[in-house]
């Protein structure tokens, strides 16, 4: 990793932010022959490796073992037990993985790219709209902003006084509380509620719109039932009146007068783009109502010399989409290309158990877009893999256009659903009909075979088919 002085004449490209999007932009531009400055402020690597995807999924996988042991008795003649014996050790192992990947995928990568200089400092635009680093002029022909996002703290009276946890600090707990409120039931809230509940914490999941409100309603309803069956208390409120300390814990009061008491509270109420503090207005860069930098299809901001990518744009806040968008931004900035961002076949995953994964349009989105829609809903008890595993939690829903039979979207709720969604993504990208997906050869006793069966369900009763028949 280098920390260099500005070369004579400045850089071809300055990338602000040293997370996944920043690295993607810097490396892409360097490979195109540009001289690049990668400007980082704080821990290198950004959200995913340090405080997001990697640590959360490591702990989710750790507690899966506890659940699998408890559920082993679904097989006759099998019993097992598992318990948390040293949560501090579990968290330390998680942190060791974070540090290993931060080095391997970020810090150790930079020396391999001679055209990239790493600059530690705070970048912002001065009053004239010129780029500075630590208030010193920093000449660069083009700029990519990739400063990521941070956890959102809702404006609840008392929230600043009760030591609320967010998605970062919750993963750093070395001692498990007896009870916990998780505020928000989107991706992060669902994952955290189940993680801590399986580790032995009494969890209440509180939200205003229910579990995974953006998912298909059949999937949200089913997942809510599965979470409840694991002992997670689910509560809907219209809003939040206040939160105060209550003895050794805290008390959250909803607008309807409901009270929820626990030792700790975790905020899982979304993320805020890190666009403030950059003095974007001075550079003529416009942000949206929620702070996301407004970009066009080529990732260019309202300043013709500045592009933006990743969470700071406020959309598709997934690490792989950040890297994808940043690559486009870099090519467009330094190579004069006009590549366009396309999220029409973007797969997404929630690492709950069962996992939730989707791609394309939901039924509601398809109807809103003007499509005449057909849907297929296949319960997992119709999938041989689930029957063999004696775990039929879940379902598969496909959305198609009525006339053409072209697939428009898919969502999966299944214990191994995340690894199957890419097949649906490829089907959408190829423009397949549900008949073509139903005719595709898929291996027996796999979760992905459920996609074939769900496609056949549009016009057939799969219960009337023999194994592998189609």
- The binding site for FAD consists of 57, 147-149, 311
Give the CA radius of gyration of the chain: 24
Q: Which of 61, 53, 55 is nearest to 187 (CA)?
A: 53
Question: Cα separations (Å) of 457 from 194, 231, 359, 396, 398?
Answer: 32, 33, 19, 11, 10
CB burial of 159-196 (b: ≥16 within 10 Å; e: otherwise) equals: beebebbbbeebbebeebbebbbbbbbbbbbbbbbbbb
Helix (H) or strand (E) holding 20: helix 20-31
Q: Max Cα separation, the chain?
A: 74
Q: Which of 133, 262, 258, 142 is nearest to 202 (CA)?
A: 262
Which residues are annotated binding-site positions for NAD(+)? 184-191, 270
Quick check: 357 and 417 in contact, CB under 8 A?
A: yes
Which residues are annotated binding-site positions? 57, 147-149, 184-191, 270, 311
Question: Cα separations (Å) of 417 from 127, 205, 356, 433?
Answer: 50, 23, 6, 21
Three-state DSSP state, 411? strand
How far apart CA 299 and CA 301 sit, in angstroms, is: 7
């Amino acid at each position: 990793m280098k920390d260099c002085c500005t070369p004579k004449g400045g850089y071809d490209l300055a990338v602000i932010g040293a997370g996944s999007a920043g690295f993607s932009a810097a490396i892409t531009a360097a490979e195109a022959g540009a001289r690049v400055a990668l400007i980082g402020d704080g821990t290198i690597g950004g959200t995913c490796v340090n405080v997001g995807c990697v640590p959360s999924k490591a702990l989710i996988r750790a507690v899966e073992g506890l659940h699998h042991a408890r559920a082993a008795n679904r097989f006759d003649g099998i019993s097992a037990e598992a318990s948390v014996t040293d949560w501090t050790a579990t968290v330390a192992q998680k942190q060791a993985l974070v540090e290993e990947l931060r080095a391997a995928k970020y810090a150790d990568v930079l020396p391999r790219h001679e055209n990239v200089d790493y600059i530690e400092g705070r970048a912002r635009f001065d009053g004239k709209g010129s780029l500075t680093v630590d208030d010193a002029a920093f000449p660069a022909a083009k700029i990519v902003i990739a400063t990521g996002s941070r956890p959102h703290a809702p404006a609840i009276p008392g929230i600043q006084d009760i030591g609320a946890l967010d998605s970062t600090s919750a993963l750093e707990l070395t001692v498990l509380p007896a009870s916990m409120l998780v505020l928000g039931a989107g991706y992060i809230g669902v994952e955290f509620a189940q993680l801590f509940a399986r580790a032995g914490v009494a969890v209440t999941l509180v939200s205003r719109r229910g579990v995974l409100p953006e998912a298909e309603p059949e999937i949200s309803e089913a997942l809510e039932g599965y979470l409840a069956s694991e002992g997670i208390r689910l509560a809907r409120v219209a809003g939040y009146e206040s939160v105060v300390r209550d003895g050794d814990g805290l008390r959250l009061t909803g607008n309807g007068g409901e009270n929820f008491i626990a030792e700790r509270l975790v905020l899982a109420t979304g993320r805020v783009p890190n666009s403030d503090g950059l003095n974007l207005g001075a550079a003529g860069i416009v942000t949206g109502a929620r702070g996301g930098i407004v970009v066009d299809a080529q990732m260019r901001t309202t300043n013709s010399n500045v592009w933006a990518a990743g969470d700071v744009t406020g959309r598709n806040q997934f690490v792989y989409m950040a890297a994808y968008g940043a690559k486009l931004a870099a090519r467009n900035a330094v190579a004069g290309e006009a590549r366009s961002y396309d999220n029409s076949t973007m797969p997404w995953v929630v690492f709950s158990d069962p996992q939730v994964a989707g791609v394309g349009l939901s039924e509601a989105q398809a109807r809103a877009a003007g499509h005449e829609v057909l849907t297929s809903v296949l319960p997992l008890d119709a999938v041989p893999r689930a029957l063999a595993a004696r775990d039929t939690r879940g379902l598969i829903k496909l959305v198609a256009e009525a006339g053409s039979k072209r697939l428009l979207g898919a969502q999966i709720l299944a214990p191994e659903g995340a690894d199957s969604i890419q097949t649906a993504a490829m089907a959408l990208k190829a423009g397949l009909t549900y008949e073509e997906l139903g005719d595709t050869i898929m291996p027996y006793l796999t979760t992905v075979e459920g996609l074939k069966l769900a496609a056949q369900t549009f016009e057939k009763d799969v219960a009337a088919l023999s194994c592998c028949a189609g």
